[in-house]
Structure 1
């Protein structure tokens, strides 16, 4: 290492912003790594650039650039001898970089990363009405992975059993042609499958879940429908323009607003039944270290709670209100008695 580097490494002002500048939060290792990865190809393309100009380019102080160069001087490809390490020179105030072509080469996706991106793009393109951008990006990703691994073939994923794809195909057609759609829809809060005609207003993703918002002719009001609970969809030969009074909901508000008459129920669930906190709308969840949880729900029909707890077969119990807990126990005793009578 040159005398210049040794003297700079002993200075206490390295990486310190100029006097009078605003103090910022300490830089993380991830932030610095990102800058270094961007700095190497830039310096290779701008041989002889001044330290001040490089500092301006990357939004740091000249002292920070010198600190980064000292770190780059210790980086390279496996082997880490003089022949593999990056050669960085800046003694005269101008930066010259060599032996860094491998690090400057464009980063490639690993196969796992490519699979993850492919899955996300396929899911996105299947739900969007105008999915050309997602499909073009997916095609580029597949070509890139094939070029990087000629013997591996293109990545294609089967994301579902075909039922949801059929539903989404119908919903996309209804939106594109402005037609009404007939839905067979499962209402989880009532444990009931319903039939209804809907004029679609939009399809949105909220908190990782896809919803259809539209004018429901059964309810004569705007309703949200979870796409994964639509069991079947059929495009009708009827105009699907919503009525004038159909106003999209402000998505900054909660999607499901419980009624004042709804019953507040507290359930305790084992780790095997913890999925209910994600599947059913709730007012709050308290999780324990062992994976069990206590979830507070607002329900319009207590029958939903009774059926849910009985179906879970001992993995959940009603904490409150006591009358619901007793109703569940009574139904369980009646079911056991029916088995005894059958024997």
Structure 2
């Protein structure tokens, strides 16, 4: 187990800068070594060095990438810091990606009903099942320009979130978070579909609102207000 772990860490380092054809060979070797290491009842930790990364995270990344390559669902136990709780969810993995030195699993989350990025260091447990993914296969997103690259089809929106709604920061991709004196936050996020924003605001009522000091996007507030009145009308 000690030798297997050492080789796994070395291969992970090699994989980061490898060409696609070499990476395919490395991935096959990693999958076999991971299985061998897992068979040991007490595989010891080793110090991979300052640039070697965490061996446990490297092993997890290998397993998750293998699940994505084979089209198998994964059951995740995931820690959400903003709520200080763990959630259990089933995902269709698309691949392991990284940015800023942090590795993420890009996957379709069946609990959220949408694609999500899961930090590997917050995954408490990952069980690869034999159930095939049920969503259309897609490649993992490209994080070369950062996690939340802008596109022509998205609109930047700022939300003011009261403390009960702070969970949005961990649950949805946001560009920037600015803490407020009352414990709430202002968050900047990119919206591709105004209907999604309206549904989110309805869920967060009364603890969220659109911040639009320049009056650049009055349609978001207007659409939400109309939807809220319509919903309220169902109860009167």
Q: Which has the higher strand share?
A: 2
**Bigger relative contact order (CA 8 A; separation at least 6):** 2
Query: Which is higher, the Rg of structure 1 or of structure 2?
Result: 1
TM-score interval, normalised by the smaller of the two chains: 0.3 to 0.5
